[in-house]
Amino acid sequence: MNIIFLGPPGAGKGTQAQRICAALNIPQISTGDILRRAMKEGTPTGMKAKSYIDAGQLVPDEVIIDIVKDRLQMDDCKAGYILDGFPRTVPQAEALEQFAKIDSVIELAVEDEKLIKRISGRRVCTKCGATYHISLLGDKTTCDNCGETLIQRNDDKAETVLNRLTVYHSQTAPLVAFYESKGLLKKVDGDGDMDAIFGKIMEALGQA
């Protein structure tokens, strides 16, 4: 099953994609994680992406489309995948149609006020991509999966978060109508208990 997770920054796409991917045994393709890895390694793509990401803007469509196109050709995508953070613009969605057949689009909906709280408290593992929130971490500072020290993403700092929400509403939200018109959209309330949301997504995917 080829699935898209759509939703604003902080909606829980990464958190839920990790769980659904484990349950369905398919890879999670997070364009944010791919770009952050490229930045860490200092590749040409990473260097190009950095100024956009740090400003809370989207990296140019042609950069990200090529990355996803290559990634979806890898063997582990044959049985399906979750796209987490792609597409984010209508041109990206149109390009995707040329090289992939999407079965379901899950829209995770959460109001802006709650998103700001979630993003400002997010801590991430730069090694395995796991995501945490300070409200649940206590005095823990390392990743449960791999032991790496957790950090706050540069673009999760207050001055960038509002930009990212504005970018979502202007450039990414039009994809809701785009996929609704194709009969692929399933809206899931992203506010509430993480386990309950996982159940609702599995149900929306016909996997419950």
Catalytic center residues: 13, 88, 122, 153, 164
Question: Which residue, chain included where needed, has tokens 């796209």?
Answer: 83
Query: How many residues does this entry show for the chain?
Result: 208
Give the binding-site size for ligand ADP (rule: CB under 6 A): 33
In the complex, what is the shortest distance from the CB of residue 148 to Zn ion, in angstroms, rounded to a whole number?
Answer: 5
Q: Does 129 bind ligand ADP (CB under 6 A)?
A: no
**CA–CA separation, 194 vs 186, rounded Å?**
18
Q: Does 131 bind ligand ADP (CB under 6 A)?
A: yes
Task: Show the binding pattern over residues 99-118: x = contacts ligand ADP (CB under 6 A), - = does not.
Answer: -------------------x
> Considering only residues 22-61, where is the footprint of ligand ADP by CB under 6 A?
31-32, 35, 52-53, 56-59
Neighbours of 136 (CB within 10 A): 10
> Considering only residues 64-93, where is the footprint of ligand ADP by CB under 6 A?
64, 85-86, 88, 92
Q: Which of 43, 51, 142, 145 binds Zn ion (CB under 5 A)?
A: 145
Cβ nearer to ligand ADP, comparing 199 with 206: 199
In the complex, what is the shortest distance from the CB of residue 205 to Zn ion, in angstroms, rounded to a whole number?
Answer: 26
Cβ nearer to Zn ion, comparing 54 with 148: 148
Please give, one letter per residue, the 3-state secondary structure of the chain. Answer: CEEEEECCCCCCHHHHHHHHHHHHCCCEEEHHHHHHHHHHHCCHHHHHHHHHHHHCCCCCHHHHHHHHHHHHCCHHHCCCEEEECCCCCHHHHHHHHHHCCCCEEEEEECCHHHHHHHHHCEEEECCCCCEEEHHHHCCCCECCCCCCEEECCHHHCHHHHHHHHHHHHHHHCHHHHHHHCCCCEEEEECCCCHHHHHHHHHHHCCCC
In the complex, what is the shortest distance from the CB of residue 1 to ligand ADP, in angstroms, rounded to a whole number?
Answer: 20
Q: Does 143 bind Zn ion (CB under 5 A)?
A: yes
In the complex, what is the shortest distance from the CB of residue 124 to Zn ion, in angstroms, rounded to a whole number?
Answer: 9
Cβ nearer to ligand ADP, comparing 135 with 181: 135
**Interaction site with Zn ion (CB under 5 A):** 125, 127-128, 130, 143, 145-146, 148
